[in-house]
Amino acid sequence: MSRFWNKLVATLDPYVPGEQPRIQNLVKLNTNEHPYGPSPKVLAAIAAHTNDSLRLYPDPTALVLRQAIAKRFGLTPEHVFVGNGSDEVLGHAFHALLKQDSPVWFPDITYSFYPVYCGLYQIKFRAIPLDERFKVLVNDYLPDAVVQVALDSVGGAANRSAAASPRASVAERAGGIIFPNPNAPTGCANPLTEVEQIIAANPDIVVVVDEAYVDFGAQTAATLVEKYPNLLVVHTLSKSRSLAGLRVGYALGHPDLIQGLDRVKNSFNSYPLDNLALAGATAAIEDEAYFEASRNAVIRTRDALTTGLQDLGFEVLPSAANFVFARRPGHKGADLASGLRAKNIIVRHFNKPRIADFLRITVGTDEQCAQLLTACRELVVGQ
């Protein structure tokens, strides 16, 4: 720890991204990247750029991209905010919309960047336990909900002690709500009717629905944006558009919410997306045929992978994402992850309460998933 750090930096517990190893003949199933490349139209759009694409600043309003996104969802560009990956969009949402006097609510097992942002922006939060099947329960997010408190802190190291000793059940109004649908890392999705219940029941606070994986089997809340001025829906092009390396994300919401995000963005970085990213992202949004074909290929492989794991005795949670969350009774998750790694296959293991024996396995190509199943068979059944 440097003596030049300020007090906040010393308390931060940063997000740990998925490993990006440089190993030959690696089967990489740990970071939920799309197994197939982006639309050829994306590559053509990037290649078509000229010297001025690098010499000149990009459009700070990203108007062309916002128009393409708005057209796809039947909205106006004023309903659309874009950023450098959905993580940046989420960060601006925490800063601009979810930093309130009352704590922000989110699931206890969820995207681990949420408590990190709370630590960075000094936001109080409450983590609401998922049910025994790892689902978000609508009733727990109603204004007068009484729930078991898993975390009640402003972030950082204090979270760990709070998580270890939940307090008694309490009732407290939320200052904001955020949850992924489908959830991560479980892959479980709530139907749109349940998502709408949460939004409608909390008209005085912002509800952020993080839909990073929605295109693989869930219903988007984007259809509710014009109905609810307190709704913000966040998407990424990293997953279903196969553009993790381009870093583009966006949010859909009432223009008042979008203006709030813009105020924070323009106080931090007024040019978050470069010209190549803007061109590639626009082409990806406009190529609906390629999007449908590639995401359906992932869904088919996911279903086959689920069946294959279940045949080996794994419990696999119902997934609406491009990954599965699975455990094998009688085997520790850390041991299985280590055994797979020894076979040049890496998956994601979270050493956390309730999910320590689960593995999050990205849906790869058919060949990669076949290699995974063979390796799992050797580990749990034997040669």
Same domain, 261 and 302: no
Per-residue confidence band for 1, with pLDDT thresholds at 50, 70 and 90? confident
pLDDT digits (tens, 9 = 90+) for 221-278: 999 999 999 999 999 999 999 999 999 999 999 999 999 999 999 999 999 999 999 9
Q: What pLDDT is stored for residue 21 in this prediction? A: 79
User: Within this chain, do residues 260 and 348 fall inside the same structural domain, yes or no?
Assistant: no
**Token digits of residue 206:** 């912002």
Q: Are residues 264 and 310 in the same domain?
A: no
Question: Which one of 286, 311, 343 terminates a domain?
Answer: 286
Q: Give the strand pairing for 207-210 and 231-236.
A: parallel
Rounded average pLDDT over 334-352: 96
What pLDDT sits at residue 146? 54
**Averaged confidence pLDDT in the chain:** 92
Residue 192 CB-density burial (10 A; 0-12 exposed, 13-18 middle, 19+ buried)? middle
Q: Which percentage of the chain shows pLDDT scores above 70?
A: 93
pLDDT at 110: 97
Is the domain of 123 the same as that of 266? yes
Cβ atoms 185, 349 nearer than 8 A: no
Residue 223, helix vs strand vs coil: helix
- Kindly report which listed range (70-74, 140-144, 279-283, 358-362) carries the lowest average pLDDT score: 140-144
Q: E strand or H helix at 291, and its extent?
A: helix 288-311
Task: Answer whether residue 3 is part of any domain.
Answer: no
Is residue 62 within 8 A of residue 88, CB to CB? The reply is no
The pLDDT score that the predictor gives to residue 341 is 95
Q: For residue 14, tell me if it sits in a domain.
A: no
The enclosing domain of 346 has a CATH number of 3.90.1150.10
Residue 154 has pLDDT above 70, yes or no: no
Neighbouring CB atoms inside 10 A of 174's CB total: 25
The predicted pLDDT at position 50 comes to 84
In the predicted model, is pLDDT for residue 380 greater than 50? yes
Q: Give the type of residue at 197.
A: Q
Range of the domain at 160: 40-286
Residues 123, 165: one domain? yes
DSSP string, 332-362: -HHHHHHHHHHTTEEEEE--STTTTT-EEEE
Cβ atoms of 216 and 295 within 8 Å: the answer is yes
Helix (H) or strand (E) holding 9: helix 7-11
29 and 46 inside one domain: no
Q: Which amino acid is at 32?
A: N
Q: How far apart are CA 185 and CA 350, in angstroms?
A: 9
| Residue 236, pLDDT score | 98
pLDDT at 152: 45
Number of domains the chain is built from: 2
Q: What type of residue sits at position 87? A: D
Whether residue 11 lies inside any domain: the answer is: no
Q: Are residues 34 and 54 in the same domain?
A: no
Boundary of a domain, candidates 286, 305, 338: 286
**Residues 257, 154 within the same domain:** yes
Asked if 188 contacts 182 with a C-beta cutoff of 8 angstroms, the reply is yes
> Would 9 be classed as within a structural domain?
no
Q: Judge if 317 and 228 occupy the same domain.
A: no
* Cα separation, 137 vs 124, whole angstroms: 21
- Residue-wise pLDDT for 291-337, tens only, equals 999 999 999 999 999 999 999 999 999 999 999 999 999 999 999 99
Q: Read off the pLDDT of residues 161-185 as tens digits, 9 standing for 90 and up.
A: 333 333 334 557 899 999 999 999 9
pLDDT at residue 155, as a whole number: 44
**28 SS3 class:** strand
User: Mind listing the pLDDT tens digit for each residue in 195-208?
Assistant: 999 999 999 999 99
d(CA 99, CA 92): 10
Please tell me the pTM assigned to this model.
Answer: 0.92
Q: Is residue 261 part of a domain?
A: yes
Q: Tell whether 295 and 356 lie within a shared domain.
A: yes
Alpha-carbon span 109 to 320, nearest angstrom: 16
What is the band of 156 on the pLDDT scale with cuts at 50, 70, 90? very low
Q: Are residues 112 and 213 in the same domain?
A: yes
Pair 277, 351 in one domain: no
Say which CATH number the domain at 50 has: 3.40.640.10
Contact of 151 with 108, CB cutoff 8 Å: yes
130 domain-assigned: yes
Measured from the Cβ of residue 321, the count of other Cβ atoms closer than 10 Å reads 31
**Residue 221 falls inside a structural domain:** yes
- Is the predicted pLDDT of residue 355 greater than 90, yes or no? yes
25/284 Cα distance (integer angstroms): 29
Query: Is position 266 within any domain?
Result: yes
- Answer with the residue of higher pLDDT: 147 or 272: 272
User: In this predicted structure, what is the pLDDT of residue 332?
Assistant: 96
Of 254, 286, 318, the position where a domain reaches its end is: 286
